[in-house]
Amino acid sequence: MIRAPRSSGPSRRMVTSSAAPPTAAEVTMAPAAGRASVTGEHSHHRCPNGYVALTYDDGPTAATLPALLDQLRAAGARATFFIQGNNAEARPDLVRAEQRAGMWIGNHTDTHPHLPDLGELAAFKEILGTQRTLRRITGRPPTLFRPPYGETNDQVRRDETRLRLLEVLWTVDSRDWAGATTDEIVAAARTLQPGGIILMHDWAQASVDAVPRIVGDLRERGLCPGRIAFTPKKVPFGETYFHATAVAP
């Protein structure tokens, strides 16, 4: 897990792949059940420059998630949570709280391993197990998947295709996993461009505290938090690429 130690955030060991994007990647995440939106649909007038995606990995974390949801609701923002299956099993009530708050829920494997280092069967089980767990808790299977550490390869992408999952990496790293301060996280978020996706973690208190300033800065720039969907465009990620972008909720 990324919390042991917490400084072991996204790996600098990038695993590359020349594989084509999953053919089923056009599947996008529907709004969570319960409250459809915390603020209603954003208008073009309010978001003239488009949308970005706020994402939080590794949870749900009991110590920080309630405050994070409160901050997002207060800011009128929705985010995508990439959830570990073992944490969801331990706190299904918190997964449901995310769902009730109108957040989107994605798969982040069961135990946060280095997927390319596993055999094909073990890697597939890591993803499938969390699919089943989250479907049982939320009533629907996730359609978004983030490989731990951003490590992907042909094998991982075959598994994603098999499970009809859209691979979601990121365009901005907040580095909250490395101990970035709230000011540093806010500064990182200021580099988001339309369609961009920022990596954060639900256990990082600095990222919780950054929410009001991040959302405020986005609005000053004519941007709004949105959901994640497939794009045919190749989005660069180290020596590889992915096919996900932020769009209107």
- Which positions are catalytic? 57, 201
Write the DSSP assignment of the chain as a string of letters.
-TTTTTT--S-SSPPP--PPPPTTTT--PPPPSSSS-SS-PPPTTT-TT-EEEEEEES---TTTHHHHHHHHHHHT---EEEE-HHHHHH-HHHHHHHHHTT-EEEE--SS---GGGS-HHHHHHHHHHHHHHHHHHHSS---EE--GGG---HHHHHHHHHTT-EE---SEE--GGGT--HHHHHHHHTT--TT-EEEEETT-HHHHHHHHHHHHHHHHTT-EE-EEEEEEEEEEETTEEEEEEEE--
